[in-house]
Structure 1
Amino acid sequence: MTILKEEIYNGFTFSSDRTRVDVDYVHQVVSTQLYWAKGIPFDVVKRSIENSFCFGIYTDSRQVGFARLVTDYATFAYLADVFIDEAYRGQGLSKRLMEFIFSIEELKIFRRMVLVTRDAHTLYERYGFEPLKSPQNYMELHRPNVYGA
């Protein structure tokens, strides 16, 4: 399924066009700066982008932010790999990215969206995320060192 949306906010372009994603840049940030995926191989990042609904933030031709949804496009989505380039933080881009994602009509029908965060609870709470109502119902298979980092 392809859902294309773009909008401009304070000179930044927000886009759901996966073909605009700079895979090399996303890999560099995710594999070196983000605690949840240190050391992740390029081919894994590339495959994750190819199989997700992706969002990018761009200034001129340079990508400065990213997020992706792992989804069936019908009932469920997992929000992952959300980041803003360190040089562009403090400008409200993460909030605007969330607003952009939640403005897409096709995503408003999902029964459940989940995410995992260690330190951005207040950001996501603004958009309706809350702790699991029934954590005892959830299970996980977690392999934290699968990328060897």
Structure 2
Amino acid sequence: MAQAHDLRISSNEAELDIDLIHAFLSRETPWAKGMPRETLERAIAGSLCFGGYIEGKQVAFARVVTDAASFAYLCDVFVLPQYRGKGYASALLTHLLASPSLQGLRRILLATTDAHHVYRPHGFKALSNPGIFMEVHDPDVYKTA
């Protein structure tokens, strides 16, 4: 049985299995349901991405939108269902948060509806002052794209 230490993590974009990432995000997640492939490709091109691999097969993914100086937004984090419960998400987060591009940032944000327990051990907590944040949010954007 594979364990977290068996997970190889890479930020080499050439290694990413775009078909797998697109299929999972666009079919299995509420936040990216229906996302066109070209939208994902643009998102990956403009982000720092991390793939998690077991025996050469991609099983995990995370994307960070950042200026590499003061701010980052962590998004599109997933571990394929059949690989969950082995510490892969934690290993992926540990690796990406140690990335040189993410050191010394003033703020790293993420949004999650049900995985707070995954992120808390890595220093994430509820917004200290949520009233200062605003958003433009179009949950149906992929339905019209």
TM-score (norm 2): 0.92
Q: Using CA pairs below 8 Å that are at least 6 residues apart, which structure has the higher relative contact order?
A: 2
Letter of the 1:125 counterpart: R
Which segment drifts farther, 102-111 or 43-52? 102-111
Letter of the 1:82 counterpart: V
Q: Does 1:74 align with 2:74?
A: no
Rounded to whole Å, the distance in 1 between the matches of 2:126 and 2:99 is 24
Q: How many residues align?
A: 141
- 2:124 aligns with 129
- 2:98 aligns with 103
1:1-149 map, 5 Å: 10-148=5-143
Deviation by residue 1:103-134 (Cα, 9 ceiling, x = unmatched): 22341211100000000111111111111111
State the identity as a percent. Answer: 41
Q: CA RMSD in A?
A: 1.3
Rounded to whole Å, the distance in 2 between the matches of 1:83 and 1:51 is 19
Q: Specify the SS of the correspondent of 2:122.
A: coil
Letter of the 1:110 counterpart: L
TM-score (norm 1): 0.90
* Structure 2 unaligned blocks of 5 or more: none
Deviation at 1:102, TM superposition (A): 1.8
